[in-house]
Amino acid sequence: MCEALGTVRPYEQERRVVLSVLPHYADGAMSGPNMPARLLLGPGPSMVHPRVLAALGQPLVGHLDPEFLALLDRVQEDLKRLFKTQNQLTLPISGTGSAGMEACFANLIEDGDEVVIGVNGVFGTRMADVATRLGAQVVKVMADWGDIIHPEAVSEALASCRNPSLVAVVHAETSTGAWQPLEDIGELARSHDALFMVDMVTSLGGCPVEVDAWGIDACYSGTQKCLSCPPGLSPISLSERAAEKIRARESKPRSWYLDLSLIGSYFGGERVYHHTAPISMIYALAEALALVHEEGLEKRFARHERHHLALIAGLSVLGIEPAAAAGYRLWMLNSVSVPDGVDEAGIRRRLLLDHGIEIGAGLGPLAGDVWRIGLMGESSRPENIRRLLLALACELGGDGVAAVREADAQLSRAGS
Ligand SMILES: Cc1ncc(COP(=O)(O)O)c(C=O)c1O
C-alpha cells in the first residue's frame, strides 16, 4: 500500500451511503455476503446509484400484479426515449447483454441466411460465433483491434453475397475502446435490403444513439454499463421491418426462451405468461432509467465526454496514452497503453486490493498491453478520476498532484 494513502479506506464513503439506504445490513438484522464497496472503473459493471440499490430491496409483487405491469409499461416507454425510437418491440430481455445479442440473432436469422458481421474485437467475434451457431452463413469484415469497421469493406462484403439478410456491427467495442460510426453502414445495409443490427451494450446511456434516425432494425444493450444498474437485463429494440421478418419466418426460432413472438405476448398487452419476469431487476432498471431521464440525455452525454477528456489529460502526465484509433475513442471506455516495463497485472491487482479501485485488463491480442478504464454512468465523476490518478501515480511513481491538476484544468476548460 502506498504510504500517502495508507490510513485511508478509500471505499468507506460508498459503504456508508449503501448502509444509509439499507440500514438493516448495518445492525446485523439480516445476514448476507459482506462485500467490499469497490470503486468500479472497469469495463462494467459500473457504480450503482443508492436509489437503484434501494429499488432492488422493494417488496416483491407478482409478475402479473397490476402495479408491476404498470411499471413494465413505464420501463418500455423510458427505454424508447433512451433508444430514440417509436419501435413497439422495445423491451428488457431477461439476461445480460449476451442474451440480447442471442435474442436478436435467434429471431432474425434462419438456416443458411447470409449475414455480414464487423469483427474488430471480442464482441464482433462473439456476434460471428453466435450467428454461426444459429445456422447463418457469416461473412466477416475484419479490421485491426482498436480500429473501426470501414464502410468500404462492408460494401465489398455485401457485394460478395447473393442475398444478404443482415449486417451487424458493435457500436462501442468494449474490448478495444473503438467507437464505430453507424450511419454509412446502415445505409449500405438498406441499399441491399438487409436488416441493420447494432450492439449497444456499452454505448446506451453514455453517448448519442438514434435508433430510428439511423435506420437501425435491431439493437441490444446491457444494464451494467452506462445505465449503472446491476447486470441482469438486456434492453432491446426491433423495428417494424425486423418485426415483419420475424412474422414471415419459415421456421421457429432455435431458442424457445428468447422467442420474441412469445415474449412479445407478455409485454404487448395480452400479458400471456412466458417466463417469470425478474421482478427486482425491473425495479432496479426502472429507477436507473428514471435517473437517466432526470439528468437529461444531452447533459449525460456531455458529462461522459468531459470526464473522458479530463481522464486522458491526467493520464498523459503519468505517461499513459490512449490505445484506440484517434478520432474514434469512446468516452465511456478508455483503452490505454500500459507504459513499457510496467507489471500490468501487478498494478491492476494493487489498485484493487490496496486502493479499492477496479480497472480492466486487455483482452485477446491486447492482453498485457492495455488497461481498460471505464467511466460509465455513475462511475463517470470527477472525484473518481482524481482518485484513480492519485492511486496510479502512487503505484507507478509519477506526479499524481500534477496529473490531477491537469485533469482539473481540462474540466474547467470544459466548464465544469
Ligand atoms: C460490446 C459488448 N457486447 C456484448 C457484451 C456482453 O454482455 P454481457 O457480459 O452483459 O453478457 C459486452 C460485455 O461486456 C460488451 O461490452
Q: pLDDT digit string (tens) for 59-93?
A: 999 999 999 999 999 999 999 999 999 999 999 99
CATH 3.20.20.140 fits 53-293, yes or no: no
| Atom 7 (ligand 1) nearest CA | 97
The answer, yes or no, to whether any atom of ligand 1 lies below 6 A from the CB of 186, is: no
The neighbouring-strand residues paired with 220 are: 199, 236
With b for 16 or more beta-carbon neighbours within 10 A and e for fewer, the 100-130 pattern comes to: bbbbbbbbbbbeebbbbbbbbbbbbbbbbeb
Ligand 1 pocket: which of 105, 122, 123 to mutate (most atoms within 8 A of CB): 123
Q: What is the CATH number of domain 3-49+296-413?
A: 3.90.1150.10
Residues 6+ apart with CB under 8 A from 393: 318, 399, 400, 401, 403
The answer, yes or no, to whether any atom of ligand 1 lies below 6 A from the CB of 201, is: yes
Does residue 347 sit in helix, strand or coil?
helix
CA–CA separation, 375 and 379 (whole Å) = 5
**Beta-carbon-side half-sphere exposure of residue 184 (alpha carbons within 13 Å):** 10
The answer, yes or no, to whether any atom of ligand 1 lies below 6 A from the CB of 220, is: no
Cα 40 to averaged position of ligand 1 atoms, centre (Å): 16
Region of 95 (left: φ > 0; alpha: ψ -120 to 50; beta: rest) is: left
Kindly give the number of the ligand 1 atom that is closest to the alpha carbon of 175: 16
Indicate whether 171 pLDDT > 60. Answer: yes
pLDDT band at 33; cut points 50, 70, 90: confident
Query: How is residue 125 written as a grid cell?
Result: 467475434
Residue 80: what pLDDT?
98
| Three-class HEC string of 353-405 | HHHCEECEECCHHHCCCEEEEECCHHHCCHHHHHHHHHHHHHHHCCCHHHHHH
CA–CA separation, 136 and 221 (whole Å) = 22
Backbone φ, ψ for residue 51 (5° rounding): -65, -35
* Domain segments of the chain as ranges: 3-49+296-413, 53-293
- Cβ(376)–Cβ(228) below 8 Å: yes
The answer, yes or no, to whether any atom of ligand 1 lies below 6 A from the CB of 132, is: no
- Cβ(257)–Cβ(41) below 8 Å: no
The answer, yes or no, to whether any atom of ligand 1 lies below 6 A from the CB of 178, is: no
CA–CA separation, 191 and 184 (whole Å) = 11
pLDDT band at 7; cut points 50, 70, 90: very low
% of the chain residues with pLDDT over 90: 89
- Cβ(114)–Cβ(162) below 8 Å: yes
Kindly give the number of the ligand 1 atom that is closest to the alpha carbon of 98: 11
Residue 23: what pLDDT?
56
Cα 413 to averaged position of ligand 1 atoms, centre (Å): 33
Indicate whether 96 pLDDT > 60. Answer: yes
DSSP letter for 77, please. Answer: H
% of the chain residues with pLDDT over 70: 92
